Amino acid sequence: MFKVADDFMFSSKVDVQSRTTYDAACVAVYGSVFLWAKLCLEAQSDGRSDVISVVTHGRSDDTTSSPARGTSIYLKAAKADGAISFYASEDGKVWTIVRNFNLESNDGLWVGFSAQSPDGEGASAYFTDGHYLPQKGQSLWSLCQATGLFTICRSTPASSRSQSAAAHSSRLNR
């Protein structure tokens, strides 16, 4: 992990070769042990992989956003004006907003990669095509327009984000 500017964009293509449910490759934002977030491509019990996110302010909230088409996807965290947004993309060009939230730390934030296998004996996670861009004084929508990392930004309808959220309700605070 490395310390980031107050406003930033951090992205990577992630690929996870899972063996067990909840094996995942993640992009993580860290403030402290009680203040962190992650955006992951995570194996599900039915064999598919989903984009999931966890935001922790003392306690964690875990949500499933959307299914992925395979074992790899592009993930991005962007922060501007105190707000953080997570994005996912199948091709690294068309980005969908997964989640918006606040995560302020007096000591600043760090970003990096994470792999997990909480119920298994290990997963293989690969991180390629990584980008970090410090950005100052722009809104998250301006960031979408300002760099080659984004071609299009779009929002996922709330109805499709919440369809599989119940599947993760038992995994809070993992």
Cβ atoms within 10 Å, residue 127: 17
Mean pLDDT of 112-127: 94
Distances 108 to 5, 7, 123 between C-alpha atoms, Å = 8, 11, 30
- Are 16 and 122 spatial neighbours (Cβ–Cβ below 8 Å)? no
The per-residue pLDDT for 55 is 98
Report the C-alpha gap between 88 and 93 in whole angstroms: 10
pLDDT band at 16 (very low <50, low <70, confident <90, very high): very high
Mean pLDDT of 24-41: 97
Report the C-alpha gap between 83 and 118 in whole angstroms: 29
The pTM of the whole model exceeds 0.75: yes
Beta-carbon contacts of residue 124 (< 8 Å; ≥ 6 apart): 16, 17
The per-residue pLDDT for 140 is 55
- pLDDT single digits (tens) 129-161: 999 999 754 455 554 544 444 334 444 444 333
Question: Letter for the amino acid at 170?
Answer: S
Cβ atoms within 10 Å, residue 31: 18
Give me the sign of the Cα torsion angle 79, 73, 13, 56: positive
- Domains of the chain with CATH codes: 2-168 (2.60.120.200)
Identify which has the larger pLDDT, 88 or 153: 88
Mean pLDDT of 122-135: 92
Report the C-alpha gap between 47 and 19 in whole angstroms: 10
